[in-house]
């Protein structure tokens, strides 16, 4: 959370500052996604930063292997593999993408209702993580991810402006004012 001081042009503003992951597909609106816990580590190693491009390449979707039941083979070399969640663990999907020479994997959720608080974690924390980033996207993204389209997964700083009531409460808390709320 951050606080922007008041100036002559605007009142003080309270903002929530954090990072958010997005899938960008050629000419379409960016789509929020959930990155695997090892993706952040890869970004820090590559970019020496908490924000930046996780992967960028043409998408590779194979209907014969849409659930990632086996490695994708040489046709996935240098591409971002697209798979559907449900049959194979996330870490295994990422390792199979890595074995195929892919630069990343986008996993399409198989649930109708999208939950952004989902976590993609390693199955075996004692084993080195996959060397490719992985993200989970809503089921509705399936139609966007056609084979050959240029895709990019990025982590950005996100600033969420709170509602006026939330701003006031946060402003008072930042200034050390105790705020008592009662539910009625």
SS3 42: helix
Q: Where are the domains of the chain?
A: 21-170
Which regions in the chain score pLDDT beneath 50? 1-3, 12-16, 182-184
Q: Report the pLDDT value the prediction gives residue 179, as an integer from 0 to 100.
A: 54
Structure confidence by residue, pLDDT tens digits, 33-44? 888 888 877 777
The residues, ordered by sequence, that sit 6+ positions from 80 with a Cβ below 8 Å of its Cβ are 55, 56, 57, 58, 59, 60, 102, 103, 104, 105, 106, 151, 153
Per-residue pLDDT of 91-118, as tens digits, reads 999 999 999 999 999 999 999 888 877 7
Q: What is the DSSP letter of 117?
A: T
Specify the CATH architecture of the domain 21-170. Answer: 3-Layer(bba) Sandwich (3.50)
Residue 15 pLDDT: 46
What pLDDT does residue 106 have?
A: 93
């Amino acid at each position: 959370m951050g606080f922007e001081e008041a100036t002559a042009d605007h009142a003080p503003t309270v903002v929530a500052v954090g990072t958010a992951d997005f899938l960008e597909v050629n000419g379409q609106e960016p789509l929020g996604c959930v990155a695997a816990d090892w993706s952040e580590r890869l970004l820090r190693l590559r970019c020496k930063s908490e924000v930046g491009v996780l992967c960028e390449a043409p998408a590779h979707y194979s209907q014969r292997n849409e659930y990632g039941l086996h490695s994708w083979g040489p046709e996935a070399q240098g591409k971002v593999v697209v798979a559907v969640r449900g049959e194979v663990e996330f870490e295994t999907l990422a390792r199979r993408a890595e074995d195929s020479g892919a630069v990343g994997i986008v996993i399409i959720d198989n649930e109708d209702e999208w939950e952004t608080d989902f976590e993609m974690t390693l199955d075996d924390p004692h084993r080195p993580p996959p060397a490719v980033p992985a993200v989970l996207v809503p089921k509705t993204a399936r139609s966007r991810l056609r084979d050959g389209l240029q895709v990019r997964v990025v982590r950005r700083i996100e600033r969420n402006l709170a509602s006026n009531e939330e701003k006031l409460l946060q402003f008072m808390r930042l200034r050390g004012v105790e705020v008592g709320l009662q539910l009625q």
